[in-house]
Structure 1
């Protein structure tokens, strides 16, 4: 059985054209991408050792080995950070027994006060598992009629992968799905990640599990939304980390005048006051 670390290395290896690294590929190849032998040679490790890492039989490669693999795969900075993170949690999984527990949902009063100052705008407090913990009326206005906030404890990942309306609401659903699956690997603890995946995997199916295993490092661009009332919104996202709480305050800014006017129209409709979900 593999590990997230091994899955990521294999996925990157399979995605590389040998010719791009100046390697010769004589004859027909049985599988695409970089051979295990080629990667091991470039990283300066044995093929057997690389196989153990990819197959999850060695979960504690040294930082030197991880950096050598990153160099051999020509990873960019974001991919390198992700590789190091996966190596860390692979080692943690060996030393602790994971006991799934639900993540905390409380938002500190000072964070809620900050959100109140932003109530005329579009902002939300979430954790890395996708739980929507508190939001402004502006956020409620741009998601009204989509079903995202219908649950008593709304979760963006659950909505994204199980509610058919999400594929219409998010104009670039595939990109957002990749983003959310990737962010789950940055969950505050192994226990919390296991809690969500044990709940979500049975109902989300392969659309979720395949993305979770591919480890696609996202290129976060403009967020495009199709509001049920016909508005097409283009939003920029600014994320403020709340490390004390393992939460995030995300502020959505209109990317164009048309979006700003649409948000203004939506906010004039009654949606209630700032809501804290906890």
Structure 2
């Protein structure tokens, strides 16, 4: 049985082109990516030990080993942080027999006040599970007609994988799906995320489980939204991590080009709304 840490190391190893690391291209490679022997040599560990990590038979590698693996895989800053997080939950989380308490949906008054200051801009408060906890009127206008905000407790991850409309709303659906699946590894707690993944997997199928198992941080690119009124809108996203143990984030969407800014100004001029806490 694999572990989050082992799955990540194996997935990252498989994704690397040896030539990018200055390794010779050997014609007898059975699969793309680094061989275990190559990574073991770069990291200074034995092939047998690397195999135990990837197969989940070693759940508590030392900090030195983690740093060596990060160097061997040429991980960037975000990937190194993710590697340390996976090592933590791999070694410290036991299987739970009872469903954990869901993360709170309440948003602190100070955060709501901050959200009000962003009106009439496009912003929301969410958590790593994808719960939409509060949002500005601008976000409601952006997602109008999409179906995301129709229910009493909207959740972006469930919407992306379970609502067919999401594939039309998000021009780069694969990118958004990768982002939502990856975020599940980051909280609010390992137990809660594990339950969420287990509940969603039978409903979402291979599109979800394949992405969750990949565990590779997706690239940061503009969000493209096909608005029901006609225009395609492109947004840069600024994400601010909020204090507390519930993994809440303040996400602000900024127009990525002048065409988006102009089109959304026209939409905003035709509608008026107010801040909403879900």
TM-score range, shorter chain: over 0.9
What displacement does 1:246 show? Answer: 2.3
Matched residue, 1:260: 261
* 1:22-171 correspondence runs (5 A): 22-24=22-24, 26-94=26-94, 97=96, 99-101=98-100, 102-171=102-171
Deviations 1:112-159 (CA, angstroms, capped at 9, x unpaired): 122222221111110111000011111100100011111211100000
What displacement does 1:271 show? Answer: 6.3
Mean alpha-carbon deviation: is it higher for 143-152 or for 35-44? 35-44
Matched residue, 1:213: 213
SS at 1:185's partner residue?
helix
Aligned residues: CA RMSD: 1.8
Mean alpha-carbon deviation: is it higher for 46-55 or for 187-196? 187-196
State whether residues 66 and 84 of structure 2, in contact with CA within 8 Å, keep that contact through their aligned partners in structure 1. yes
Matched residue, 1:250: 251
**TM-score w.r.t. structure 2 length?**
0.93
**TM-score w.r.t. structure 1 length?**
0.93
CA distance in 1, matches of 2:124, 2:220: 17
Matched residue, 2:18: 18
What displacement does 1:188 show? Answer: 2.2
State whether residues 116 and 275 of structure 2, in contact with CA within 8 Å, keep that contact through their aligned partners in structure 1. yes
Q: How many residues align?
A: 276
Deviations 1:56-112 (CA, angstroms, capped at 9, x unpaired): 111100010111111111122222121111111111125x74743222111112221
Mean alpha-carbon deviation: is it higher for 17-26 or for 215-224? 17-26
**Structure 2: runs of 5+ lacking an equivalent:** none
State whether residues 12 and 216 of structure 2, in contact with CA within 8 Å, keep that contact through their aligned partners in structure 1. no
**Structure 1: runs of 5+ lacking an equivalent:** none
State whether residues 116 and 136 of structure 2, in contact with CA within 8 Å, keep that contact through their aligned partners in structure 1. yes
Mean alpha-carbon deviation: is it higher for 29-38 or for 221-230? 29-38
